[in-house]
Structure 1
C-alpha cells in the first residue's frame, strides 16, 4: 500500500502551480472555446486545477500573434536575440526550484529524482542555444568563375513553428524544442498536453520577464482538435512533435495536405547490452535503477536488458535486489524513487501488460507484478527474466516500471536481439572492451548509442538526439537540432 500526504499536495499546489490560462500574444485567456479539463494529481487521484482549453479559434489567434511577432523577432539583430535568450536562460536558472516543485504535482515526478534536475537541464539547453543565435552562417560557393557569378547561401528561419509537447517530461521537451527555434529566429506556438500545462506557463512567464517580445512564445493547451488546428493552419511553417507513433501518423497525414515539414521524436524500446567484462557492482545498480527512473515513463530508457550468458543468473539476482529496494511512494517525499503513473488509464494499461505477460508466459516474473492499493496511479516496479524477444514485453513500449531481461551468447546474437524491434531511438553498451564497442556501435539500429553512460546520459544539449524507424526522424540537440528550424536559400549574383 502507498500512502500520500494529501494535505501537503493541496498546499503545494496552491503555492507553486501557475494559474491555468492560455498565453496568446502576451495576453492571458481563461474563458476559452475548448472548455475545461479537470487536472488530476497523479499521486492523490484528486482534481487540483481546472485547465482552460484552446479550440481552433484560440489556435488561430496564437498563430496570428506568432506571425506578427515574427516580423520583429526574425528581423532582430542576432546579437540581440542572443542577449535576450541569455537573460532568459539566467531567469530559468534562478527558478530551478520552481520547475522542480511543479513536476511532482504536474505529472508525479519524484522530487528526489528526475524533478530535481529538470530545471538545470532547461537552463543548460537555453544557454547552449543562446550561444548559437549569432553564429548561424551561410556559405560562399565556387560553382562558377568569380568573374562571372557569385554564389552564396542564406540560413533563414522558417517563420512560425508549432510545437506539440509530450506529457512525460514536459519541461525537458520545452527545453529541447523552443530555444533552438528561437535562436534561429522563429516564433512558436506551444501546445502542451492538457495533463501537463504548468511547466509551459512558467516557461512563457520567464520569457516575457526576460524581455522576449509578446507573441514570440504562445501557449495553447488543448485536446486533439487544437493539435489538428495547429498542424493544418496555413500560418504554421513546421511542426515539431514528441509523443507516440499513433499520434504522429495523424499529424503526418494532416501535415501532408500542405506538404508541411515535421520533426518527430517518438517512442523507443531501447536495448542495453551488458557484457561479462563489466564491473557488476557499478553497472547493475545503474542499469536497474535507470530503467525505472521517472517510473519508466521515458522514451529512451533502457527497458530491455540483454545479458551475456555467463553472468546472466547473477545479473538477474542483482537486478531484482536493486529494484526491490527502490522506494515507491509519495513523489513529494525526497526518499521516493518510483512515483505514480500519469493517470488511471496509464496505470490500468501497464498493469494489464504485466498481468497478460504472466498469463501468456512471455517471461519469468522475477519481481513485482502485484497491484498496489492506493488512491493515486501506482504500479509495482516489475522485473521479468527469460523474456521471449518476440513478446510484447520485448516489442511494445510499455511506458511503466517494467524491465525485461534476456540472455545472449555471442555478439551477433546480442545485436540481432537489440535490433529486432520496429523502434530505433537509443541503445546502450556496457563493456570495458573498446574493440568490442567499436565493432558494435555501427551495427546497432538506433539514433544514439550510449557506452558505459553516467546517470544522465540523454540530455546533453550538444549531442543530437532522435531516432530511426518507429522512433521518428529529425534531431533535437547540437547543431543538428538548430538546423531543424532553418532552411537554406541559395543566391546567385551575376556580374553587371
Structure 2
C-alpha cells in the first residue's frame, strides 16, 4: 500500500496469517479521499488464492484459540480493547480518510472497544444448559459451539462499528474471523488487524482481506467457511445469499433502511428538529442505515417544525472533514455523488415533493471533493421513489400525517424495517406506537445510539439476525444436543 503524506497509515497490505501481503491476485484499488477527490492509497485486493490462504491460516488459529483456557481468551480480548482505546485518535482519523466522516463525529464510529469489552465478558461464561428427559437418570446437555471460521463482510460507511458488532462476538464465541472490508474503506480495518497481533491474538485469528466483488464471492462460496455475517445493501445481499447457497452456508444480514421519524404535535419541536437534522441529512451526509430519511410530522405542527428543521440543517458547518468544527462532510465517491444527484433530479421532474433547500453539488473550495448540499423535500408523496427507496445521501423527505393511525400506516408503508423514531411527550403514545411500528429498533425522543447491550437488526427487507446482546453472541454459536444414558 502506498499513501500520501496526509494519510496516517502504518501498514502494508492484506493481512493473512500475521503477515502483510502486498501482491495479490485481485488487482488493486485506488483509494480516493472523499474530501478532496485525490488518491491517498493504493490497496491490493484479495482474490481466490488469498481467500484460500486466509482460510487455511484461520483454521490453524481457531484450533490454537480454542485450546486456550477461557480466561486467557477473555484477557486477550480485553488486551485488544485496550489497544483500540490507546489508538482511538488514529482509528478516528482513519475513519475520516476511509469515507469522509467529519472528525467531529467519526469517533462515534469507533465503538469497537465497547463491543470487545462486552463480549470478552462472555468468553468465560457458560453458554450451554441441561434439561431433564424421559430417562430419569440420563444427562441431557445442550452445548453451544463455534462454527470454526466465519466471514465478516463489512460496509464502507462504518467498518469499525461492524468490527465491534460482529468480530468481537465471533471471537468471544471461539471462532476465527476473515474480515472483508469494502475496498472503499479498508484503512481502519487493516489497522485493526495489526492491533489484534499487537494485543497477542494468534496470527491468523483475524485475517483482513480488502476485496472487490470477486474476492467477496470467493469468500462466501468457500466450503470451509462456517457462517457469513454481511452488512450492506439489498442488491449485494441477494448476491451473497445466492453464493452462500452453494454450500448452504448460513448468513446473517444487516441491510438498509428507510427509517420513519415521527413527530407528534405534543413533541418538543426544537429538540425534534435538531435530532431530525442530525439523524437525517447531516451525520455522515445521510450515509447511514439508521438515517431518518422519511420525516413524518403531524399536520397541525408541520409548518412550525419545518421552519425549525431547516434552520437546524443550515446551522451545521460544511467543510473539510478534518476540521474539528465541521459537522457535514462529503459523500463517499463520485459514483455516489452522481447517483444522489440523479435521485434529486428525478424527484423534481416527477414533482414528488417540494424542494425546500439544497439540491446541488457544492463548488468553490469544496469542488474537488464529493459534497452535496443538505437537501430537504417537503410534502413528499409516500409512494414516490424518494420516499420508498434508500437514498443513502443527505436528502430528507418530509410529509404530514393526520393522526396516530395515519402516522403508523405511513411509517409501515415501506419494504424496510430497520429503525424508527418517535418524538412525543406522551408516554402511553410512545409505547403504543412503538409496538405497532414494523422495525427492529425504535428510538423515542433521541437519536439512534447503538450499544453492545442491545440487539440490533431489521424487519422485512432490512435483514435478519442480530448484532449486540446475547442474541449477537448466539449468531456465532451452533447448538449441539448430547444425551448420555445413565440407566
TM-score, normalised with respect to structure 1: 0.95
Q: Does 1:294 align with 2:256?
A: no
Cα deviation, residue 288, structure 1: 1.3
Alignment partner of 1:177 is 2:171: no
Query: Which residue of 296, 307, 322 maps to 2:297?
Result: 307
Equivalent-residue separation in structure 2 for 1:30 and 1:487 (angstroms):
35
* Contact 2:268/2:423 (8 A) holds in 1: no
Matched, 1:442 2:432: no
**Contact 1:18–1:198 (CA under 8 A) maintained in structure 2:** no
Say which of 450, 455, 467 aligns to 1:464.
455
Offset at residue 10 of structure 1 (A): 4.8
Residues 277-300 of structure 1, C-alpha deviations (whole Å, 9 max, x = no match): 111122211111221211100001
CA distance in 1, matches of 2:109, 2:306: 31
Match of residue 312 from structure 2: 322
Q: Hey, what does 1:139 align to over in structure 2?
A: 129
Please, which runs of 5 or more residues in structure 2 have no aligned partner? none
Q: 2:222 is matched with which residue?
A: 233
Question: Of 378, 384, 387, which aligns to 2:377?
Answer: 384
d(CA) in 1 for partners of 2:18, 2:193? 9
Give the distance between the partners of 2:384 and 2:449, measured in 1 at CA: 27
Using the TM superposition, give the Cα deviation of residue 438 of structure 1 relative to its aligned residue in structure 2, in angstroms: 1.8
> Aligned-pair distance for 1:273?
0.7
2: CA distance, partners of 1:322 / 1:349: 25
Determine if the alignment matches structure 1 residue 411 to structure 2 residue 401: no
Partner of 2:217: helix, strand, or coil? helix
Task: Give a deviation string over 1:86-125, Cα, whole Å, max 9, x none.
Answer: 1110111111111111111111010112x13233x11111
Q: Which residue of 2 aligns with 1:102?
A: 94
> Tell me, what secondary structure is at the counterpart of 2:131?
coil
> Shift of the alpha carbon at 1:19?
2.8
Which residue of structure 1 aligns with residue 185 of structure 2?
A: 196
Alpha-carbon distance between aligned partners in 2 of 1:406 and 1:93, rounded to the nearest angstrom? 42
Residues 10-409 of structure 1 aligned to structure 2 (within 5 Å):
10-13=4-7, 16-113=8-105, 115-119=106-110, 121-147=111-137, 149-291=138-280, 292-373=282-363, 374-409=367-402
SS of the equivalent of 1:200 reads: helix
Q: What is the aligned partner in structure 2 of residue 5 from structure 1?
A: none
Distance 2:68 2:221 in 1: 28
User: Quick one: distance in 2 between partners of 1:195 and 1:249?
Assistant: 20
1:205-262 deviation digits (Å, cap 9, x = unpaired) = 1111111101100011111111010001011000000000111001101111211100
Q: Secondary structure at the match of 1:12?
A: coil
CA distance in 2, matches of 1:97, 1:371: 30
Contact 1:20 1:198 in 2 (8 A): no
**Which residue does 2:470 correspond to in 1?**
479
CA–CA distance in 2 between the matches of 1:371 and 1:470?
31
The ranges of structure 1 where at least 4 consecutive aligned residues each deviate by more than 6 angstroms after the TM superposition are: none
Task: Indicate conservation of the 8 Å contact 1:144/1:150, yes or no.
Answer: no
Equivalent position SS for 1:112: helix
